[in-house]
Amino acid sequence: MIGTGFMGAAHSQGWRTAHRFFDLPATPVMSVLVGRNPETTLGAAQTWGWEETSTDWRATIAREDIDIVDIVTPGDSHAEIAIAALAAGKHVLCEKPLANTVEEAAAMASAADAAQTRGASSMVGFTYRRVPAATLARELVLAGRIGEIRQVRAAYRQDWLSDPEGPMTWRLDKARAGSGALGDIGAHAIDLAEFITGLRIGAVSGVLDTIVKERPLLAEGVGLGGTAAADRGTVTVDDVALFTARFEAPAGGYSPLGSFEATRFASGRKNALTIEVSGSLGAIAFDLERLNELQFHDATLPATEQGFRTILVTEPGHPYAAWWPAGHMLGYEHGFSHQVVDLIRGIVDGAPIHPSFTDGLHVQRVLDAVERSSNEDGRFCAVDVRPDTPRHGN
């Protein structure tokens, strides 16, 4: 695994536990943790369970005993590492968003397609697909339980930047992160909406805004984004993104509209990824802050019996139900174990793995279209998808 931050801890939890609860055809060995700082990397490796450490990712991916490379670094290094790892014949798991630009993501998807012909698989880490309630939502929608999709509402709201004196981090530097709330959390809302509905976004109209434009530099004075004053840095990404989307129509069907919001200034919202899909026969609604629950409305019932009801997604027949007895809750960390399960099974079985780098490229194109629209006063912008681009995962 390359990277030692917050996502490093989450991914390590997945690698450490997946094979202990699921019957996997191969057992992952947590061989090497790669980071820039030797002391920090060693401490993380000891805490998370990695066998050894390195500060040289190139030398690590060249090792013959390394089969999978897991990339949890900031977005500006995703393309270089992933393309090199795929060229070395390694399977690759890369955190979202896939890259910082469409061009980088396209190069990664092309490298992944070429590597697949040589037996090397790849996956982009849209982990929320693997929350059991979200997976069940997809199953219900694709089974026709809510009928023809008419409207989608999705949002990802956090509040960790609402304090204007919160310090600069790499996530606030466009050169490192690519974008702000739009790419960091909006990408999850886009992917989850498409995953659940089975539809792709074809055009968007949006606006981006930066609420706090300067922030204190970190203690060591790293000049992220340049300095506006001696002790402050310039925020170069968006704090809030709002956009509407037109989904591509299924064969002979309606092209539903969607509304999307991504913000890190929603005071009181800690990790509120929400999605509601309304159809001709009912609706589903999901909230990550209540991740074991799915709200389901059956509009075919008599009027006296209608309304949303809560499904507790912990039964043996529910997705990924290998952990605890019925009614015992799962948490945020379990999705990373489910990600490992699907990746390893796909690698060993030679089955298509989703979400693929091609899926990640599509989301990157949606992000790019939202930014272009914002720069053009909200004009509807098409999501540029080549006619020959395969559409996996739906």
For the chain, the straight-line distance linking the first and the last C-alpha, in angstroms and rounded, comes to 28
Peptide bond into 319 cis (omega under 30): no
CA 157 – CA 162 distance, rounded (Å): 11
139 & 116 share domain: no
Residues lower than pLDDT 70 in the chain: 219-230, 385-394
178 and 298 inside one domain: yes
What does the pLDDT read at residue 150? 97
Q: Are residue 197 and residue 165 in the same domain, yes or no?
A: yes
> Residue 219: what pLDDT?
62
CB 272 within 8 A of CB 287: yes
Do residues 59 and 81 make contact, with C-beta atoms less than 8 angstroms apart? no
* Residue 226, pLDDT score: 44
- Whether 189 and 205 map to the same domain: the answer is yes
CATH code for the domain in which residue 290 is found: 3.30.360.10
> What pLDDT does 385 receive?
53
- 89 is written with which tokens? 């014949």
Q: What is d(CA 125, CA 112) in angstroms, rounded to the nearest whole number?
A: 15
Cα–Cα dist 272/266, whole Å: 9
Taking residue 381's Cβ as centre, other Cβ atoms within 10 Å add up to 21
Pair 246, 369 in one domain: yes
**262 part of a folded domain:** yes
329 in a structural domain: yes
Question: Of 88, 103, 127, which residue is a domain's last?
Answer: 127
| pTM for the full predicted model | 0.94
Cβ 180 vs Cβ 210: under 8 Å: yes
Gyration radius from the chain CA atoms: 21
pLDDT at 250: 87
Same domain, 110 and 136: no
Q: Are residues 349 and 324 in the same domain?
A: yes
Looking at the fold, whether 65 and 81 belong to one and the same domain comes out as yes
How remote is the C-alpha of 155 from its chain's centroid? 14
Q: What residues form DSSP beta bridges with 92?
A: 69, 122
pLDDT at 394: 41
**147 and 87 in a common domain:** no
Q: What is the pLDDT of residue 225?
A: 45
Q: How far is CA 238 from CA 207, 282, 316, 376, 379, in A?
A: 10, 35, 42, 16, 18
Q: Range of 78's domain?
A: 6-127
Q: State the CB neighbour count (10 A cutoff) for residue 55.
A: 12
Q: In terms of domains, do 139 and 91 share one? A: no
Cβ-count burial 92-123 (b if 16+ within 10 Å, e if not):
bbbbbbbbbbbebbbbbbebbeebbeeebbbb
What are the beta bridge partners of residue 229?
232
Same domain, residue pair 122 and 151: no
pLDDT, position 279: 98
Residue type for position 294:
L
Biggest CA-to-CA distance, the chain: 67
Residue 94 and residue 76 in contact, taking contact as beta carbons nearer than 8 Å: no
Predicted confidence at residue 218, as pLDDT, reads 78
- What SS3 string covers the chain? CECCCHHHHHHHHHHHHHHHHCCCCCCCCCCEEECCCHHHHHHHHHHHCCCEEECCHHHHHCCCCCCEEEECCCHHHHHHHHHHHHHCCCEEEEECCCCCCHHHHHHHHHHHHHHHCCCCCEEEECHHHHCHHHHHHHHHHHCCCCCCEEEEEEEEECCCCCCCCCCCCHHHCHHHHCCCHHHHHHHHHHHHHHHHHCCCEEEEEEEEECCCCEEECCCCCCCCCCEEECCEEECCCCCEEEEEEEECCCCCCCCCEEEEEEECCCCCCCCEEEEEEEECCEEEEEEHHHCCEEEEEECCCCHHHCCCEEEECCCCCCCCCCCCCCCCCCCCCHHHHHHHHHHHHHHHHCCCCCCCHHHHHHHHHHHHHHHHHHHCCCCCEECCCCCCCCCCCC
Residue 350 CB partners (closer than 8 Å, separation 6+): 119
- What is the model's pLDDT at position 230? 59
Checking phi first, is residue 340 left (phi over 0); if not, alpha (psi -120 to 50) or beta? alpha
CATH code of 31's domain: 3.40.50.720
Does 30 fall in a domain?
yes
Would 62 be classed as within a structural domain? Answer: yes
